[in-house]
Amino acid sequence: MDSSSLSSIESLVHEIKKDLFSNQDNFNTFLTKTSAYDIAWTLAMIPFNNQEKEDNGPMFDSCLNWILNNQNEQGFWGESNGENLIPTIYSLPITLACMVALKKWNVGERHIIKGLKFIHANMYTLLKENSQCFPCWFTIVFPSILQLAKAQGLEIIIVNGSNKLLSDVIMKKKALLESEKLNDNIVNEEDGSLFQSPSSTAQAFMSSGNKKCLEYLMSIVQKCPNGVPSRFPVDEELKMLCVVDNIQRMGLAKHFEKEIEQILEQVYNNYQINKLKNNNEYLLSSSEEKISDDYLPEKLLKDSLAFRLLRLQGYKINQGCFCWFLQQPQIRDKIEKNKEHFTYVMYNVYRATDLMFNGESQIEEARFFARNFLVNNNDNLSLFPALQKVIEHELNVPWFARLEHLDHRSWIELNQSIPLSIGKSSFYWLAYLQNEKLMQLAVQNYEYRQSIYRKELEDLKRWSKEKGLVDIGFGREKTTYSYFASAASSSSFLPYESFLRLIVAKCSIVITVADDFYDEEASLSELHILSEAIQRWDAKNLDGPSKIIFEALDDLVCDVAKMYHLQHKIDITPQLRHMWKETFGSWMMESLWSRTSNLPSRDKYLQVGMISIGAHILVLHAASLGCSILPNQMFGPINGQYENITKLLMTTTRLLNDIQSYQKEREFGKMNYTLLHFNENPRGQIEDSVDFVKVILGDKKKEFLENVLMDGFNDMPRIMKLLHLSCLNVFHMFFNSCNLFDTKSAILEDIMRAIYIPLGQNEQTQIMPLQQKKIKKKIEIVKVNACVNHVKNMKQEVGIGISFVKRQNPKNYNSFGWSTKEFSSYNLRLCFM
């Protein structure tokens, strides 16, 4: 690998640790997102000593200079949507405020002229586009700032059609003030601020001369020298949690493990202290006083982020940490009536509910509430396309069904192109950390991983070719796709250089070829010969495909056993062989059931099917090399049992397959858990059987997740448990109906984005060499473990492990690169890793 790239990454990590975690002032500077409105409408307009004299200048001249230096080329100040700098409706009051400040001090005449041109050219269009749903903050401030601008002498021309729209804004403002019972009473907080808002506090100071307000304003200018934010201070723990969340979503967590652990330990200890203060219950705060409406979004955002991050890290955190709002009808009502303020909060509440264990009914209720909120409100987020996109992704693609490497890319690209800022009145800018070094590190880290993945994939292709698996003459070409799934599902916890990815991919390839052989290629006699050879582990009397499969398998087992022996001086060859003997035996049993039409009981079927799916092979072979010495029972010793976490993985992956595959398997007389339940209940509908299996699957996944995240269920090292989770992610992704790849373009798209295409490059250059079409020997009906059903083999159409029923045009993708149109699962089949 390129040593200079690694050196650059290590240098950036060191600089960011120094900038971000060395002291609190650096932390605040790192996080600050400048608010043009707060700078202009208030700080830049406060005269020296708060006295209006002709020779007086601004008290905070740095703020006035900021306005002069930060006007957009199109003439507006403030936020825009996307790389094309499209102004939002918020740009109207922000631009007026900046021009008022310039006019007050008789500077920036050129800026004012440019700003007026923007206002005159865009006011009607922006008002018209948003007339069905004016944002609350805009509704309150725009009429006032427009009046002030006119009073200051700015010639604002109201073009035809704008008068009616302005009247609508004023009417909505009146209704808002009446419904919220807002007034002009000034209540100073302990820190001297008014609602932690620089603009509100500055106006209060100009009206009252309150010294505490001035101290607050001077403090914020000193602590945020690069620009004043819209809200300050923000809860320190909330800021730290947002930093951790952002680092993880960029795929950088492994570089900051110590810092993340320190932050989360501090947050957890504080939650435990508050819990004890409140009689072992999670309340709104450490006291019994009702939390202010103004701080409610911040509190709920903090608690939902804390729950998710702490639970992912293995902390025992109660569901009441963030579900407290469910028990407060007035709070639920407030959330539903203030969608603009709570949309990002509910997005994070919904994310927190991904980590639900069995028996956590409050989390289930919170998930239902948050999902309904987001579904009903997402169409109204046209002003905030970045937030709209991440919400669509969250709702359409289950957390269990995502490959983290691709999620990291999508989060980086989204942050590069569209800031997740939602206007002056909110604190949502915390989601988007505008730091060039952090973004630079994320890009370099991702592309360095890509360079490693490309090299490893070439090594894997050579191995497949040398072992004869590529040219075996049947089934799928599976090498690229097997490696893609292995690498893309483990990027957050495996180091750059890790042979575990190759071990998983090799196991996947052997499983796929062997399963194809048992399911579609060989006669019953040939299967008996291969199965007997596997049981005695001897290639005698084998030839053709049987010999190729055995020799590739033996080579793989020998390699894994040798590496383990080098690390621990222990021979695990018997344990590895036992797993494969079990698996080949399960394929033989399923072939006999299928060809003799014998129906097993559901229990017997599941006992065999959870082995034949092959998930345990993948995780246990890799885990043996990625962990310290493992107890024998983790390998499933002869005549023994696998660990519960492994059995849960095996069961859930089998049930995932059987929910998707029952239609085609019924056509071809194959066994399936869903169909067996239906046969036992002939008076019911097949949908009832599907629902029955889904209930079992849901409970098993919750139990599995608790086994992965929490200590006390097993003695497995954390990396081994994460391998289990990544394996389920891959299976779930393949079987998730809105994520299935139904075209060659769809699967190539994600492989290219994961391994080949650099960040910021959208065009699909032909990096992967096209394979020559092979002459098709015969039409074969196929089925694969962890694959989706039976189709006619058309492998010559693709060459990376997929076969299709028919050609289709590429489907639309959402912003995270996933296909969003549902389609019938049996239109294709994919190898699972």
Torsion of CA 639, 644, 647, 651, to 10 degrees: 140
Would you state the pLDDT for residue 685?
Answer: 93
- Cis status of the peptide bond prior to 47, with omega within 30 of 0: no
802: left (phi over 0), alpha (psi -120 to 50) or beta: beta
What would the DSSP string read from start to end of 149-179? HHHTT------TTHHHHHHHHHHHHHHHHHH
Question: Which residues contact residue 801 at a Cβ distance below 8 angstroms, ignoring those fewer than 6 apart?
Answer: 476, 477, 478, 479, 480, 481, 482, 512, 830, 831
Give the confidence band of 282 by pLDDT, cuts at 50, 70, 90.
low
pLDDT at 207: 72
Written in H, E and C, the secondary structure of 258-322 is HHHHHHHHHHHHHHHHHHHHCCCCCCCCCCCCCCCHHHHHHHHHHHHHHHHHHHHCCCCCCCHHH
- Whether 620 and 634 have beta carbons less than 8 Å apart is answered as yes
Please tell me the distance from the alpha carbon of residue 673 to that of residue 388, in angstroms, as a whole number. Answer: 38
List pLDDT tens digits, range 653-687: 999 999 988 887 787 777 899 999 999 998 999 99
Alpha-carbon distance of 824 to 810, in angstroms, equals 15
Decide if pLDDT at 738 tops 50: no
pLDDT tens track for 385-444: 778 888 999 999 999 999 999 999 999 998 876 554 444 545 445 544 567 889 999 999
- The strand pair at 80-81 and 828-830 is best described as unpaired
Residue 569 scores a pLDDT above 50: yes
Is residue 769 within 8 Å of 479, Cβ to Cβ? no
Q: Could you give the maximum distance between any two Cα atoms of the chain, in Å?
A: 104
Q: What angle in degrees, to the nearest 10, is found between the helix axes of 236-249 and 257-277?
A: 140
In the predicted model, what is the mean pLDDT of residues 161-188?
A: 73
Closest alpha carbon to 219 in 201, 235, 242: 201
Q: What pLDDT score does 400 carry?
A: 95
Dump pLDDT digits (tens) for 300-334: 999 999 999 999 999 999 999 999 999 989 999 99
The pLDDT value recorded for residue 210 is: 82
pLDDT at 807: 30
Q: Distance between CA 367 and CA 351 in Å, rounded?
A: 9
> What is the pLDDT at residue 225?
72
Higher pLDDT, 381 or 727: 727
pLDDT, residue 406, reads 96
How far CA 203 is from CA of 176, 186, 216, 661, 716, in Å, comes to: 21, 10, 12, 65, 59
Give me the pLDDT at residue 829, please.
30
> Which is more confident, 508 or 207?
508
The pLDDT score that the predictor gives to residue 64 is: 87
Percent of the chain with pLDDT over 90: 49
DSSP structure string for 99-136: HHHHHHTT--HHHHHHHHHHHHHHHHHHHHHTTTS--H
Q: Residue 786 — pLDDT band, cuts 50, 70, 90?
A: very low
Choose the weakest-confidence range: 183-187, 577-581, 770-774: 770-774
Give me the pLDDT at residue 824, please.
Answer: 32
> Once rounded to an integer, what is the mean pLDDT over residues 497-518?
94
pLDDT range class, residue 547, cuts 50, 70, 90: very high
pLDDT at 161: 80
User: Do the domains at 27-223 and 467-754+780-830 have one common CATH topology?
Assistant: no
Return the DSSP state at 792.
B
- Look at residue 251 and tell me whether its pLDDT is greater than 60: yes
Task: Tell me the pairing of strands 80-81 and 86-87.
Answer: antiparallel
Distance CA 750, CA 412 (A): 15
Task: For Cα atoms 376, 377, 382, give the angle at the middle one, nearest 5 degrees.
Answer: 135
Q: How confident is the model at residue 138 (pLDDT cuts 50, 70, 90)?
A: confident
The answer to whether 812 touches 727, Cβ cutoff 8 Å, is: no
User: CA of 7: how far to CAs of 11, 13, 506, 516, 755, in Å?
Assistant: 6, 10, 31, 45, 21
Q: What is the pLDDT of residues 55-108, one digit of tens each?
A: 567 888 888 888 999 999 999 998 776 656 788 888 999 999 999 999 988 999
Mean per-residue pLDDT of the chain: 81
pLDDT recorded at residue 24: 64
- Hey, what are 758's tokens? 């650099």
Taking only the tens place, the pLDDT of each residue in 631-653 is 665 666 544 688 999 999 999 99
Strand-pair partners of 80: 87
C-beta of residue 614 within 8 angstroms of C-beta of residue 585? no
Backbone angles phi, psi at 792, to 5 degrees: -80, 135
Q: What is the per-residue DSSP string for 209-260?
A: --HHHHHHHHHHHHH-TT---SS-S--HHHHHHHHHHHHHHTT-GGGGHHHH
Question: Would you state the pLDDT for residue 175?
Answer: 83
Quick: pLDDT tens for 742-769.
455 667 888 999 999 999 776 444 444 3
176 burial type by CB count under 10 A (0-12 exposed, 13-18 middle, 19+ buried): middle
The better pLDDT of the pair 646, 782 is held by 646
The mean-pLDDT minimum among 422-431, 517-526, 813-822 falls in: 813-822
Contact 95, 84 (CB under 8 A): no
Write down the H helix ranges in 313-360: 320-323, 329-337, 339-352
Mean pLDDT of 122-139: 87
* Residues sharing a CB contact under 8 Å with residue 626, sequence separation 6 or more, in sequence order: 494, 498, 500, 719, 720, 723
Structure confidence by residue, pLDDT tens digits, 454-486: 999 999 999 999 999 998 887 766 899 899 999
Asked if 471 and 384 touch (Cβ cutoff 8 Å), the reply is: no
- What stretch of H or E contains 203? helix 198-208
User: What pLDDT was estimated at residue 84?
Assistant: 63
**Mean pLDDT within 275-287:** 57
Confidence of residue 523 (pLDDT cuts 50, 70, 90): very high
Between 586 and 24, residue with greater pLDDT:
586
CATH superfamily, domain 236-435, is Terpene synthase, N-terminal domain (1.50.10.130)
Higher pLDDT, 242 or 182: 242
Identify which has the larger pLDDT, 471 or 817. Answer: 471
Q: Is the pLDDT of residue 784 over 60?
A: no
Q: Dump pLDDT digits (tens) for 599-619.
A: 899 999 999 999 999 999 999
Q: How many CA atoms lie less than 13 Å away from 290 in the CB half-sphere?
A: 6
CB atoms within 10 A of CB 152: 15
Handedness of CA 795, 797, 798, 802 (dihedral sign): negative
Residue 234, pLDDT score: 77
pLDDT reported for residue 86: 80
pLDDT over 60 at 771, yes or no: no
Every domain of the chain and the residues it spans? 27-223, 236-435, 467-754+780-830
Band of residue 530 on the pLDDT scale cut at 50, 70, 90: very high
Please state which of the ranges 128-137, 374-383, 611-620, 772-781 shows the lowest mean pLDDT: 772-781
Residue 181 has pLDDT above 90, yes or no: no
The whole-model pTM stands at 0.85
- DSSP classification of residue 192: S
Q: Which CATH code of 3.40.50.10680, 1.10.600.10, 3.60.15.10, 3.40.30.10 fits the domain covering 467-754+780-830?
A: 1.10.600.10
Task: Provide φ and ψ at 424, rounded to 5°.
Answer: -60, -35
Q: In whole angstroms, what is the distance from residue 66 CA to residue 634 CA?
A: 62
Look at the domain 27-223 and name its fold. Glycosyltransferase (1.50.10)
